Chain A
């Protein structure tokens, strides 16, 4: 495990640090590069994080939430459970296979939602909280180097693979040349219309027992709505726990039993 990770980190370092070479990257190499970005964020085990979520809209009061995000990366499971404010506590989302379920303990009902679901009415989507699966979902192409403030970044253009359901089919990624972390992500509709811009100014680096290696977690995400200008969402990952979770956590029954 450790060796594989080191190898992929090395591959990323090689590919990202040598820009001229990257320009001439073969398709296979580009995919590998994307896989490396995913892999750096992957914990390989369970993940639990306390997250602050805030939505700003013009002319409206801010929406604020605190939620716990649970992930089991090996079988792509995800659960989001709201803890604050009090009136929202106990509501949640559960992703099983390709289904995104929404649960509201107030009415005791599960509803299936789509990939385009605005999580709790904000500009965030399921993918913003989930494990990074860029290589699995998109085909990359390298666009060259770009400056982003004081950082130098590799600019990648991504297109969704056929048959994969994602919220945004076209992406542009700015990846920091020095650290290999994503700095900025632009998301487009199939028509070419820019839908959202996400900025990733801060990353947490922590050692994972399950991965036996370092894992990078985007600590702060600032998401700007490019359609409804003036709307924005901020996601802040406050604390992260990488220990294993209960075995049957990612089931409807678990959430139902807890909210009784």
Chain B
């Protein structure tokens, strides 16, 4: 005991006495600081991300079919949608999973993607008009209906005029006729009073002229990629606490319907001019950029000045007049042309931007449809089914939603939610009945399969008995089957109204099941037990953690962690070498001191202890200083928060700011690592010190 006190005394005395000790101390100080701060940040990000991913769509555990070709990737993978085999009947899987004592809830899921195409503005307006006429044919004309028809007609006529003007102007500017004469002729015809006076006599014929000859003259409409997850929407909302409805309302229980992701709704369905204004505002407010200095902001301003057609085409004559009046007032201008006024209005700089932004939303937006789709509208989604056939469904959009903390994440924001019945329609599971039907059609054709390589020889070769021309006669062709299939308007109407029972929702195909646990700490153990249970029950299931299920995002988290750990590892290897060398030097410097001590009776164990204790004290003192400063930094970060400067960070931070916390485990880990490294790096020099003999000490020169 007395010896230890002596050793400590020696150690403390030596602490600041040599520069080498200060160097070692410095390394230990920064090493500890790094481990404390880095570790705490990593842990905070990890837990924030876990909460986001678990609480948004993954749950703690995902279960899916073991026959799947690809691993489950809820947020999509590099190569697109993963190829998963279906879970044939979710209603059988659910009780099986719920049997486990740690399982709280099970939610069916299926993610997929589709392209939604919409025609151009003229197409959309014309199809509106067509619907109105059809309504009139079915239910008779009412004054309200007549008013709607006349209003849309006025709008179409306005668009035709605008198109003709634009054609004339571009021909004037570019010189000579740019357009197909047939198109110009059609446009001229659609402008005449005679055409519009005769419109009502045969509205469908008039519509076809507009649809086939006029509408194609402006560029095609948009194509949008839509990723969606089909799920039991009620169970989903109950289970995933991060989900919140932003606009509209939840899909009524048991009905078909869709909740679009708010991110997707804003980025892809909002009017481009308004979206660009929003972007400029965000960059100016959040990232302190200015129009004067930032080329991207300048580009947006320029695009808003030039691309005014989206606004102009949207307005019917009455609204056009109002818009012109308002713009004239705002700009203090007498200019009569709407496009010139809009260009002037969108000519923004850092001085007038905030005013124009506010004016746009208060004065102009009320006259406009800011979004291409309103809550309550029906969206047509067309997708290739699993069997290769194309399938379309109409889904009513009830609202938009977002995952709290993931609002700005493009990855999480790409996912919209859909009821499971619509999902199954688009997924197109190949039932035994369907399979038999296809086989029968194929067999009736009497055709033989021929591969590319053998085809020419088999069909045209010397040995083939092909008869090139055969006499035939005109025969009756029965097309009745086309009108008695599964499709049709009647079912279309019913589907949107129908309320499905919980049993109907659960009975059928799902692609995976999200499992929420009662005690998340037991995740690993529960996974192992579920795997075993599935094996015992003869079910071919894959059970994966949320991290694996998150696909590319899960891998991203793992990669980030590995990079950090690797960096820490390298730093400590370097520290080890430096400390080791420094200690060697320190020991060499003290050969005489050690020799003298040995000469007056110090044992080898005492020398060993002396060197080791000295390093440990060094480690403890500087380690503690490092931890203290590290804790200070963390406390500061915790109260101020680290702002997420871009979308990717927004996701990693699970929100606009990360408020990292420091746990005791971070401190303990830092101390253990630091002390371990110092002890290891001192072992060899300490061993060398014990080898110093008194004789050697005496023999040194001087």
Contacts and interface: CB of A to CB of B under 8 A. Distances in A.
Interface string B180-216: 1000000000000000000000001101100111011
B117 to A, nearest CB: 6
B468 interface: yes
A224 interface: yes
For B213, B394, B474, B483, the residue with the greatest tally of chain A CB atoms inside 10 Å of its CB is: B474
A188 interface: no
A64 B470 contact: no
B486 A241 contact: no
Interface string B403-439: 0000000000000000000000000001000100110
Nearest to A148: B460
A198 to B, nearest CB: 10
Given A81-B482, A259-B488, A150 B470 contact: no
A17 interface: no
Contact of B483 (A90, A206, A217, A229): A90
A54 B445 contact: yes
24 contacts: A50-B477, A64-B445, A81-B482, A85-B434, A87-B487, A89-B485, A92-B482, A106-B491, A108-B492, A109-B392, A110-B127, A111-B382, A112-B123, A121-B388, A121-B389, A121-B390, A163-B180, A179-B468, A202-B467, A207-B474, A217-B472, A239-B476, A243-B474, A258-B483
B442 A54 contact: yes
B449 interface: yes
Given A55-B388, A181-B469, A240-B477, A87 B441 contact: no
B481 interface: yes
A205 B470 contact: yes
A196 to B, nearest CB: 11
B471 interface: yes
Interface string A174-204: 0010010101100000000000010101111
Interface string A244-260: 00000001110010111
A88 interface: yes
B503 interface: no
Interface residues of A, number: 88
Given A120-B390, A202-B469, 15 more contacts: A63-B387, A87-B486, A92-B482, A99-B212, A104-B382, A105-B487, A112-B220, A176-B468, A202-B467, A202-B468, A203-B470, A240-B475, A240-B477, A242-B474, A251-B208
A238 to B, nearest CB: 8
Contacts of B466: 201-202
B472 A88 contact: no
A98 B394 CA distance: 27
Contacts of B483: 89-90, 258-259
B702 interface: no
A206 B474 contact: yes
Contact of B445 (A110, A236, A253): A236
A125 interface: no
Interface in B22-67: none
A243 B441 CA distance: 26
A150 B460 contact: yes
B267 interface: no
Nearest to B460: A149
A52 B204 contact: no
A151 B467 CA distance: 11
B452 A241 contact: no
Given A86-B485, A234-B447, A219 B470 contact: yes
Contact of B469 (A56, A108, A203): A203
Contacts of A142: none
B457 interface: yes
B483 to A, nearest CB: 5
B484 interface: yes
Interface string B486-508: 11111110000000000000000
Contact of A149 (B211, B456, B476): B456
B390 A202 contact: no
B127 A150 contact: no
B210 to A, nearest CB: 12
A40 B486 CA distance: 39
Contacts of A224: 452, 455
B558 interface: no
A98 B182 CA distance: 11
Nearest to A229: B452
B459 interface: yes
Nearest to A178: B468
A91 B487 contact: yes
Contacts of B473: 206-207
A224 B458 CA distance: 15
Contact of A83 (B220, B450, B482, B492): B482
Contacts of A111: 117, 119, 382
For A61, A64, A243, the residue with the greatest tally of chain B CB atoms inside 10 Å of its CB is: A64
A82 to B, nearest CB: 7
Contacts of B438: 61-62, 64, 85
Contacts of A16: none
B479 interface: yes
A163 B442 CA distance: 40
B393 interface: yes
Contacts of A38: none
A29 B322 CA distance: 63
Nearest to A254: B204
B353 interface: no
Contacts of A108: 394, 489, 492
A201 B392 CA distance: 36
Interface in B375-399: 380, 382, 384, 387-394
A237 to B, nearest CB: 9
Nearest to B213: A97
A259 B388 contact: no
B455 A90 contact: no
B445 to A, nearest CB: 4
Contacts of B434: 85, 87
B462 interface: yes
Nearest to A51: B477
Given A87-B485, A107-B393, A241-B477, A149 B457 contact: yes
A219 B472 CA distance: 10
Given A54-B442, A120-B390, A259 B487 contact: yes
Contact of B481 (A89, A91, A259): A89
Contacts of A239: 475-477
Nearest to B490: A260
Interface string A54-90: 1111001111111010000000000001111111111
B447 A236 contact: yes
Given A54-B442, A104-B487, A98 B216 contact: yes
Nearest to A110: B127
A57 B475 contact: no
B461 interface: yes
Interface string A112-154: 1000000011000000000000000000000000001111000
Interface string B103-133: 0000000000000010100010001001000
A82 B457 contact: no
Contact of B384 (A98, A121, A151, A232): A121
B355 interface: no
B142 interface: no
For A107, A184, A239, A251, the residue with the greatest tally of chain B CB atoms inside 10 Å of its CB is: A107
A93 to B, nearest CB: 12
Given A109-B392, A150-B464, A205-B471, A222 B459 contact: yes
B131 to A, nearest CB: 9
Contacts of B220: 112
Interface string A17-61: 000000000000000000000000000000011101011110011
B493 to A, nearest CB: 9
A193 B388 CA distance: 26
Contacts of A163: 180
B469 A205 contact: yes
B452 A232 contact: yes
Contact of A203 (B388, B468, B490): B468
